[in-house]
Structure 1
Amino acid sequence: MVEKLFKLKENNTTVRTEILAGITTFMTMAYILAVNPSILSAAGMDQGAVFTATVLASFLGTVCMALFANYPFALAPGMGLNAYFAYTVVLGMGYPWQAALAAVFVEGVIFILLSLFNIREAIFNSIPTNLKKAVSVGIGFFIAFIGLQNAKIVVGGATLVELFSLNAVEGGTMQDVGITVILAIIGVLITAILVIKQVKGNILWGILVTWLLGIICQFAGLYVPNPELGFYGLLPDFSGGLSVPSVAPIFAKLDFSSIPLAEFIVIIFAFLFVDMFDTLGTLIGVASKADMLDKNGKLPHIKGALMADAVATTVGAVLGTSTTTTFVESASGVSEGGRTGLTAMTTAVLFGLSLLLSPIFLAIPSFATAPALIVVGFYMVNQVGAIDFTDFGEGIPAFICMAAMPFFYSISEGISMGVISYVVLNVASGKVKEKKVSVVMYILAFLFLLKYFFI
């Protein structure tokens, strides 16, 4: 039945490979189970209820991805979108979180309609092949940067960002900040060695070994938990038992009346815009890495993948969480050989189990998952060799797209800059007919420009 449902032989993979890939994907994105409740609780939402909503939305969305598209991509409430929800709409604009959930719900419904009529698919297919490959590379740099930040290897400084200095530990001690940096660096080296030796499950083993080293350091007194700085005990805490927090405080609490219509539309558009292009960017980048694009650079079954994203966002809003989207960390499972929906289904099952075993999953610290993100970044950056830089009309927009993602800290901004520069440069240089720039690319470039002027 598994073979019939997921077509493993056709995709040249095995049950063992798919399950291992699914576990790896889950381990690299499990941090969302701790981070999302923390961010949304700042908006006044019940943290335990948000945890449960996060798990359920992630489970549902990832199952939909497995069944609708048979792809190894996992979904969860998106980073950046949750921050916009809490810090901009609620804390910044002063609207209640119930109204923000209503905006997310409407966005999801719009996405379902766009997906049904293939509008999102048309957008995906209109992006030139070199730009798609550039998105993959840009995401590689972006997630590697996130990994470096999560590990505190890169910190804010006089030059905006700088290398962490063990000689100048600020706001903490060597027993919390310093030791986690060292452990993360060791984790990167261990994971890299496993990659070089082609050990199956290298990324997952890198996470577990780094976590184990952290536990040893905690027992030895080299790592001292410091909750004020976000450094917690590394051992699972089962003191609260296996109870599942109730979702009742936030379930179906949608408020459509608190925001004036004009501002409600702007908020919906912001959610819609970021979600659409983060999702498209992730699908393009990860699918490109997995060699899933056809000879024309298109992703088969993309309609199912986009529908899974839209349904998860809509249902997630009812459950009580911010926009649910395809996670770029899916690349870690793809790098482990995941090629079908069995990878996604495995990740979904682990999300479901996390309801009961949350103390274990939440005990995995960011310094243990950071090496995985850095190494996955390496995997994705190697697509740069496939970009045609000899054609400047292709190469310059590709470069702008790649650079914008880490520098602007946004996948969607990278796509925006790439699309605008591609159209403007080829129009200005008279290469439009030669490049066969599509009408959709013109429309996208125009909309992106409007965004920068009016939003």
Structure 2
Amino acid sequence: MLFFTFTVVGELGYSWEIALGAVFLSGILFVIMSVTNLRKWMLESIPLNLRIAMGCGVGLFVGFIGLKSGGLIVSNEATFLSLGNFAQIETLLSALGFLIISILAVRKVPGAIILGVLIITLIGIIIGLIEFNGLVSVPPSIAPTFLKMDILGALDVAMISIIFSFLFVNLFDTAGTLLGVANRANLVNKDGEIIDIDKALKADSSSSVVGTFFGCSPVTSYVESSAGVEAGGRTGLTAVIVGIFFLISIFFSPLASIIPTFATAGALIYVAILMLSGMEKLNWSEITELLPALIIIVMIPLTFSIANGIALGFIAYITLKVFTGGITNISYGAWFLTLIFVSKFIFL
């Protein structure tokens, strides 16, 4: 996590052990919120339009990451962004990957996303863009980071804002990802609430604590999980199998590392477009709920933060409701979340 590495350790000068201690403490708070159903109550208090927007915003974020990693868009000092250089073969392969996946998906070929990634990787190997560095390797020792978090060092008044920053980012990054992925997997009820969300929340929060034992910065749900959903994953068994393959891949890291970003970029862009289809479910007739929803969708990728995009949308939602006579329609949960968001911008 950038905040862990560049802010807490880099700018603020704390050791990585103390930073891990802060992650551990934020994880404990995370678990308490999940076990007591406080987190579930918060998520279910989110208005339907904003829930839909969170999923779409995550989709746009995934697409932005795909376009950037594939070189299809590049930074530009004058215009912020500009079109990538299609004279570079990597950029062309990124676009080709997207087209291959799209064609295979339209023709209902099973495993279209995986096949697209493998085809582009194979092309990269054939034309010499990818160097084969072997098949197997011995995993590095975990001894240098195992159980190295400094919890006592993190129990300092000066660390309070850092602990809550970890908690805030983890809470709402995960919330946005869960809502986005669950919508694409049709794992929501008629009210837009995630079915059996308490199980997902408990698993997610406990992993944040366990991850610190091995020296991990905050463990969270990845937006790229949406690619797995589009490939057919629907149950917890999918995550278990993926986890098993991750463990096995530790011994095959040279093989796994040959898959380049330009091979996966097309998959991310394809999944992003599918996730944006949720915008048709927005209530376009109620402007006080539509504008905050659109703010969330746009600001998640522009701020490069799911949490900040959601925060700006909630603040806009409360403001519009209060000054247009809709204050009675605001739930207690929405008030509570907005208070947290405002406090975050002021104090953290």
Answer yes or no: is 1:150 the counterpart of 2:69: yes
How does the TM-score come out when normalised to structure 2?
0.96
Please show how residues 189-338 of structure 1 align to structure 2 within 5 Å.
189-218=99-128, 223=129, 233-238=130-135, 241-258=136-153, 261-338=156-233
How does the TM-score come out when normalised to structure 1?
0.74
State the AA in 2 paired with 1:145.
F
Per the alignment, residue 423 of structure 1 pairs with: 318
Per the alignment, residue 447 of structure 1 pairs with: 340
Give the counterpart of 1:164 among 84, 89, 95: 84
Please show how residues 400-439 of structure 1 align to structure 2 within 5 Å.
400-433=295-328, 436-439=329-332
Contact 1:152 1:181 in 2 (8 A): yes
Contact 1:183 1:367 in 2 (8 A): yes
State the AA in 1 paired with 2:8.
V
State the AA in 1 paired with 2:209.
T
Contact 2:315 2:338 in 1 (8 A): yes
Over aligned residue pairs, what C-alpha RMSD do you find?
Answer: 1.4
Answer yes or no: is 1:397 the counterpart of 2:292: yes
Tell me the distance in 2 between the aligned counterparts of 1:179 and 1:100: 41
Contact 1:96 1:258 in 2 (8 A): no
Deviation at residue 260 of structure 1 after TM alignment? 7.3
State the AA in 2 paired with 1:163.
L
Per the alignment, residue 112 of structure 1 pairs with: 31
Contact 1:180 1:367 in 2 (8 A): yes
Secondary structure, counterpart of 2:74 in structure 1 = strand
State the AA in 2 paired with 1:454.
F
Answer yes or no: is 1:85 the counterpart of 2:4: yes
Per the alignment, residue 126 of structure 1 pairs with: 45
Tell me the distance in 2 between the aligned counterparts of 1:437 and 1:212: 53
Answer yes or no: is 1:182 the counterpart of 2:92: yes
Secondary structure, counterpart of 1:183 in structure 2 = helix
Per-residue displacement from partner, 1:295-315 (whole Å, max 9, x unpaired)?
222112211111111111101
Per the alignment, residue 16 of structure 1 pairs with: none
State the AA in 1 paired with 2:339.
F
State the AA in 2 paired with 1:114.
M
State the AA in 2 paired with 1:452.
F
Runs of 5+ unmatched residues, structure 2: none
Tell me the distance in 2 between the aligned counterparts of 1:189 and 1:397: 33
Secondary structure, counterpart of 2:220 in structure 1 = strand
Contact 1:103 1:268 in 2 (8 A): yes
Deviation at residue 263 of structure 1 after TM alignment? 2.3
Secondary structure, counterpart of 1:351 in structure 2 = helix
Contact 1:234 1:365 in 2 (8 A): no
Secondary structure, counterpart of 2:284 in structure 1 = coil
Aligned length: 347
Secondary structure, counterpart of 2:289 in structure 1 = helix
Contact 1:155 1:163 in 2 (8 A): yes
Per-residue displacement from partner, 1:187-211 (whole Å, max 9, x unpaired)?
1111111122121111111111111
Tell me the distance in 1 between the aligned counterparts of 2:40 and 2:156: 29
Secondary structure, counterpart of 1:337 in structure 2 = coil
Secondary structure, counterpart of 1:247 in structure 2 = coil
Give the counterpart of 1:340 among 192, 212, 235: 235
State the AA in 2 paired with 1:179.
I
Tell me the distance in 1 between the aligned counterparts of 2:5 and 2:232: 36
Contact 2:86 2:92 in 1 (8 A): no
State the AA in 1 paired with 2:98.
V
Runs of 5+ unmatched residues, structure 1: 1-81, 168-177, 224-232
Secondary structure, counterpart of 1:356 in structure 2 = helix
